[in-house]
Amino acid sequence: MRFEPGRLIMHRNVRHGRIGWVRPARVVLDDDRGLLLWIARDTPVANEVTEAGLGMRAIPFAEWITSRYRLAEGRWDGPPVLKFLPTGAAHSVWWFRDARGGFRNWYVNLEEPGVRWDDGLVAGIDVVDQDLDVVVYPDLSWEWKDEEEFVERLAFPSHYWVADDEPVRAEGERVIRLAEAEEFPFDGTWCDFTPPAEWDVPDGLPPGWNRPPVR
């Protein structure tokens, strides 16, 4: 299954069959290398929160797993972001921008390979975010991110969606080696990407955005 450039699809994170977040994104390209997505500033999004409106990172994981949840709609309030999901890989790479739109850094999001779906009027790709990440800077230096959260959640194996930390860390180390060697996609590719002027920001999430996850 391939998505046409310019199509708006739902990039979703799922956790044990529940939707964790939804981010509508425009397809920049979709080829043998992978899927490249663009999320514009002020894009409508949804995030899983507790009944009190708290996100997963706002409370201890022990409290989160005993909570009741709902999906809260909002807007993407950060700078635009470009996301590349390499075919079959257990990670994605994001191009973060500063407030003026210039390239700031890469962000390696460790995740299970995405599963695509297409219902006709709405389509998307579902991933399982594995929480541990790597930040890569323009000078190709790097650092792990969210290690404390990752370790905290691993202590609850019956509730956490990551069963084994070793493959996750190994994937991160593999991508770090690519970055240190300045290999694609850490070779300057897409750092100056500009979306087509006709790509508007949707008014809201389309019908079907919250269909049951495919994984």
pLDDT (tens digit, 9 = 90+) per residue, 180-203? 999 999 999 999 999 999 999 999
pLDDT (tens digit, 9 = 90+) per residue, 121-134? 999 999 999 999 99
CA dist., res. 102 & res. 111, Å (int): 26
Predicted confidence (pLDDT) at residue 215 exceeds the cutoff of 80 = no
60 cis-preceded (ω within 30 degrees of 0): no
How far, rounded to the nearest angstrom, does the alpha carbon of residue 72 sit from its chain's CA centroid?
17
CA dist., res. 93 & res. 36, Å (int): 9
pLDDT > 90 fraction of the chain, expressed in percent and rounded: 95
Sequence-distant (6+) residues with CB within 8 A of 64 are 50, 56
Phi, psi angle pair for 78, to nearest 5°: -100, 180
144 to each of 107, 109, 132, 175, 210, how far by Cα in Å?
10, 11, 7, 12, 31
Q: Taking the model in full, what pTM does it have?
A: 0.96
Return the pLDDT at 176. Answer: 98
pLDDT (tens digit, 9 = 90+) per residue, 29-53? 999 999 999 999 999 999 999 999 9
